[in-house]
A and B are shown apart, each in its own frame.
Chain A
Amino acid sequence: GAGVSQSPSNKVTEKGKDVELRCDPISGHTALYWYRQRLGQGLEFLIYFQGNSAPDKSGLPSDRFSAERTGESVSTLTIQRTQQEDSAVYLCASSFYRGVNTGELFFGEGSRLTVL
Protein backbone atom coordinates (compact mmCIF):
# COMPACT_ATOMS: atom_id res chain seq x y z
CA GLY A 1 0.00 0.00 0.00
CA ALA A 2 0.98 3.62 -0.38
CA GLY A 3 0.54 4.68 3.25
CA VAL A 4 1.77 3.68 6.68
CA SER A 5 0.02 0.51 7.74
CA GLN A 6 -0.57 -0.44 11.37
CA SER A 7 -2.03 -3.54 12.93
CA PRO A 8 -4.07 -4.41 14.80
CA SER A 9 -6.34 -1.40 14.51
CA ASN A 10 -7.99 -2.34 17.77
CA LYS A 11 -6.73 -4.48 20.63
CA VAL A 12 -8.48 -5.26 23.89
CA THR A 13 -6.41 -7.14 26.43
CA GLU A 14 -6.42 -8.02 30.07
CA LYS A 15 -4.13 -6.39 32.56
CA GLY A 16 -0.84 -8.26 32.78
CA LYS A 17 -0.87 -9.64 29.24
CA ASP A 18 1.74 -8.79 26.62
CA VAL A 19 0.79 -7.06 23.37
CA GLU A 20 2.62 -6.52 20.12
CA LEU A 21 1.80 -3.70 17.71
CA ARG A 22 3.06 -3.64 14.15
CA CYS A 23 3.93 -0.82 11.78
CA ASP A 24 4.77 -1.06 8.08
CA PRO A 25 6.18 2.29 6.92
CA ILE A 26 6.06 3.88 3.50
CA SER A 27 8.65 2.31 1.23
CA GLY A 28 11.81 4.39 1.08
CA HIS A 29 11.20 6.20 4.35
CA THR A 30 14.26 5.70 6.52
CA ALA A 31 12.83 7.41 9.62
CA LEU A 32 10.18 5.72 11.74
CA TYR A 33 8.54 7.02 14.90
CA TRP A 34 6.18 5.68 17.53
CA TYR A 35 3.96 8.08 19.45
CA ARG A 36 1.30 7.48 22.07
CA GLN A 37 -1.88 9.51 22.33
CA ARG A 38 -4.07 9.14 25.37
CA LEU A 39 -7.69 10.20 25.14
CA GLY A 40 -7.92 13.98 24.76
CA GLN A 41 -4.19 14.42 25.01
CA GLY A 42 -1.35 15.37 22.68
CA LEU A 43 1.19 13.10 21.06
CA GLU A 44 3.79 11.62 23.38
CA PHE A 45 7.07 10.61 21.70
CA LEU A 46 8.10 7.03 22.41
CA ILE A 47 10.92 5.97 20.09
CA TYR A 48 12.63 6.92 16.82
CA PHE A 49 14.49 4.78 14.28
CA GLN A 50 16.68 6.23 11.53
CA GLY A 51 18.31 3.84 9.09
CA ASN A 52 20.93 1.70 10.79
CA SER A 53 21.62 4.21 13.57
CA ALA A 54 20.96 3.33 17.19
CA PRO A 55 17.33 4.15 17.97
CA ASP A 56 16.37 6.99 20.28
CA LYS A 57 14.47 5.21 23.04
CA SER A 58 14.31 8.23 25.34
CA GLY A 59 10.52 8.42 25.26
CA LEU A 60 9.75 4.86 26.34
CA PRO A 61 7.88 5.23 29.66
CA SER A 62 9.18 2.08 31.35
CA ASP A 63 11.17 -1.09 30.72
CA ARG A 64 7.90 -2.85 29.91
CA PHE A 65 8.03 -1.07 26.55
CA SER A 66 10.37 -2.11 23.77
CA ALA A 67 10.52 -1.69 20.02
CA GLU A 68 12.41 -3.23 17.16
CA ARG A 69 12.83 -2.41 13.52
CA THR A 70 14.17 -4.69 10.83
CA GLY A 71 16.40 -2.62 8.56
CA GLU A 72 14.28 0.11 7.02
CA SER A 73 11.05 -1.83 7.07
CA VAL A 74 8.60 -3.18 9.60
CA SER A 75 8.69 -2.13 13.24
CA THR A 76 7.05 -3.77 16.24
CA LEU A 77 6.25 -2.12 19.55
CA THR A 78 5.91 -4.58 22.43
CA ILE A 79 4.30 -3.80 25.76
CA GLN A 80 4.83 -6.42 28.44
CA ARG A 81 2.61 -6.94 31.48
CA THR A 82 0.14 -4.32 30.29
CA GLN A 83 -1.38 -1.90 32.79
CA GLN A 84 -4.58 0.11 32.51
CA GLU A 85 -2.60 3.32 32.07
CA ASP A 86 -1.19 1.85 28.84
CA SER A 87 -4.61 2.29 27.24
CA ALA A 88 -4.14 4.72 24.38
CA VAL A 89 -3.83 5.00 20.62
CA TYR A 90 -0.35 4.07 19.47
CA LEU A 91 0.59 5.96 16.32
CA CYS A 92 3.37 5.05 13.96
CA ALA A 93 4.77 7.55 11.48
CA SER A 94 7.46 7.48 8.84
CA SER A 95 9.34 10.11 6.87
CA PHE A 96 12.32 10.79 4.71
CA TYR A 97 15.26 11.92 6.79
CA ARG A 98 15.95 15.59 6.05
CA GLY A 99 18.28 16.51 8.88
CA VAL A 100 17.15 19.62 10.73
CA ASN A 101 14.09 19.86 8.51
CA THR A 102 12.82 16.38 9.27
CA GLY A 103 9.23 16.71 10.34
CA GLU A 104 7.01 15.85 7.41
CA LEU A 105 5.64 12.75 9.05
CA PHE A 106 3.11 10.42 7.51
CA PHE A 107 1.01 8.73 10.17
CA GLY A 108 -0.74 5.42 10.16
CA GLU A 109 -4.30 5.07 11.40
CA GLY A 110 -3.08 3.93 14.79
CA SER A 111 -3.59 0.93 17.03
CA ARG A 112 -6.13 1.53 19.77
CA LEU A 113 -5.16 -0.43 22.87
CA THR A 114 -7.61 -0.99 25.69
CA VAL A 115 -6.37 -2.70 28.84
CA LEU A 116 -9.16 -4.03 31.05
Chain B
Amino acid sequence: QKEVEQNSGPLSVPEGAIASLNCTYSDRGSQSFFWYRQYSGKSPELIMFIYSNGDKEDGRFTAQLNKASQYVSLLIRDSQPSDSATYLCAVNVMNYKLTFGKGTLLTVNP
Protein backbone atom coordinates (compact mmCIF):
# COMPACT_ATOMS: atom_id res chain seq x y z
CA GLN B 1 0.00 0.00 0.00
CA LYS B 2 1.29 3.39 -0.98
CA GLU B 3 2.06 5.66 1.97
CA VAL B 4 0.38 8.79 0.61
CA GLU B 5 -2.35 8.58 -2.03
CA GLN B 6 -3.99 11.27 -4.09
CA ASN B 7 -6.25 11.24 -7.12
CA SER B 8 -4.05 12.21 -10.04
CA GLY B 9 -6.87 14.15 -11.68
CA PRO B 10 -7.08 16.25 -13.63
CA LEU B 11 -9.61 18.09 -11.53
CA SER B 12 -11.31 20.80 -13.51
CA VAL B 13 -13.39 23.55 -11.88
CA PRO B 14 -14.82 26.82 -13.17
CA GLU B 15 -13.43 30.11 -11.96
CA GLY B 16 -15.00 31.14 -8.66
CA ALA B 17 -15.91 27.60 -7.61
CA ILE B 18 -14.54 25.62 -4.69
CA ALA B 19 -11.82 23.11 -5.53
CA SER B 20 -11.54 20.12 -3.18
CA LEU B 21 -8.32 18.10 -3.13
CA ASN B 22 -8.04 14.90 -1.12
CA CYS B 23 -5.26 12.81 0.32
CA THR B 24 -5.10 9.63 2.39
CA TYR B 25 -2.11 8.23 4.22
CA SER B 26 -1.29 4.82 5.63
CA ASP B 27 0.94 5.49 8.64
CA ARG B 28 -1.18 6.13 11.75
CA GLY B 29 1.89 7.56 13.48
CA SER B 30 2.07 10.46 11.04
CA GLN B 31 2.26 13.74 12.91
CA SER B 32 2.24 16.58 10.42
CA PHE B 33 0.73 17.21 7.04
CA PHE B 34 1.57 19.62 4.28
CA TRP B 35 0.17 20.85 1.00
CA TYR B 36 2.58 21.99 -1.69
CA ARG B 37 1.73 23.65 -4.98
CA GLN B 38 3.83 22.96 -8.07
CA TYR B 39 3.39 24.99 -11.23
CA SER B 40 4.40 23.29 -14.45
CA GLY B 41 8.17 23.29 -14.81
CA LYS B 42 8.69 24.80 -11.38
CA SER B 43 9.64 23.49 -7.96
CA PRO B 44 7.09 22.80 -5.21
CA GLU B 45 6.25 25.55 -2.76
CA LEU B 46 4.56 25.14 0.59
CA ILE B 47 1.08 26.63 0.86
CA MET B 48 -0.41 25.05 3.99
CA PHE B 49 0.50 22.84 6.90
CA ILE B 50 -1.69 21.28 9.58
CA TYR B 51 -0.79 19.35 12.70
CA SER B 52 -4.10 18.97 14.60
CA ASN B 53 -7.47 17.48 13.76
CA GLY B 54 -9.95 19.95 12.36
CA ASP B 55 -9.76 22.85 9.97
CA LYS B 56 -7.09 25.44 9.40
CA GLU B 57 -7.86 28.46 7.25
CA ASP B 58 -5.45 30.78 5.46
CA GLY B 59 -7.06 33.20 3.06
CA ARG B 60 -8.83 31.25 0.33
CA PHE B 61 -7.24 27.99 1.47
CA THR B 62 -8.55 25.61 4.13
CA ALA B 63 -6.76 22.46 5.19
CA GLN B 64 -8.77 19.75 6.92
CA LEU B 65 -7.32 16.87 8.91
CA ASN B 66 -9.02 13.76 10.26
CA LYS B 67 -6.44 11.50 11.86
CA ALA B 68 -8.98 8.81 12.73
CA SER B 69 -9.84 8.45 9.05
CA GLN B 70 -6.23 9.12 7.96
CA TYR B 71 -7.48 11.77 5.63
CA VAL B 72 -6.35 15.29 4.83
CA SER B 73 -7.89 17.68 2.35
CA LEU B 74 -7.35 21.10 0.85
CA LEU B 75 -10.21 23.38 -0.13
CA ILE B 76 -9.61 26.35 -2.40
CA ARG B 77 -12.43 28.86 -2.35
CA ASP B 78 -13.12 31.30 -5.18
CA SER B 79 -10.74 29.39 -7.43
CA GLN B 80 -8.72 31.49 -9.86
CA PRO B 81 -6.97 30.49 -13.11
CA SER B 82 -3.70 31.24 -11.30
CA ASP B 83 -4.51 28.35 -8.95
CA SER B 84 -4.06 25.94 -11.86
CA ALA B 85 -1.19 23.71 -10.78
CA THR B 86 -0.38 20.30 -9.33
CA TYR B 87 -1.10 20.04 -5.62
CA LEU B 88 1.11 17.68 -3.65
CA CYS B 89 0.11 16.24 -0.31
CA ALA B 90 3.05 15.45 1.98
CA VAL B 91 3.18 13.62 5.27
CA ASN B 92 5.89 13.50 7.90
CA VAL B 93 6.07 9.76 8.58
CA MET B 94 9.33 9.40 10.47
CA ASN B 95 9.89 12.70 12.24
CA TYR B 96 11.75 14.05 9.26
CA LYS B 97 11.25 12.12 6.07
CA LEU B 98 8.57 13.93 4.16
CA THR B 99 6.72 11.52 1.91
CA PHE B 100 4.84 13.02 -1.01
CA GLY B 101 1.82 11.82 -2.91
CA LYS B 102 1.92 11.86 -6.70
CA GLY B 103 -0.12 15.05 -6.79
CA THR B 104 -3.46 16.18 -8.21
CA LEU B 105 -3.52 18.37 -11.29
CA LEU B 106 -6.01 21.20 -10.85
CA THR B 107 -7.27 23.25 -13.79
CA VAL B 108 -9.39 26.34 -13.14
CA ASN B 109 -11.28 27.40 -16.25
CA PRO B 110 -11.97 31.12 -16.82
Contact = CB atoms under 8 A, between A and B. Distances in A.
Categorize the interface residue count of chain B. 20 to 34
A25 interface: no
Contacts of B31: 100-101
A42 B103 contact: yes
A91 B95 CA distance: 20
A103 B98 contact: yes
Chief secondary structure at chain A's binding surface: mixed
Interface stretch (A12-20, A66-74, A75-83, A107-115): A107-115
Interface of B: 31-34, 42-46, 49, 51, 88, 90, 92, 95-103
Interface residues of A, number: 25
Interface of A: 31, 33, 35, 41-43, 45, 48, 50, 56, 58, 91, 97, 99-110
A50 B88 contact: no
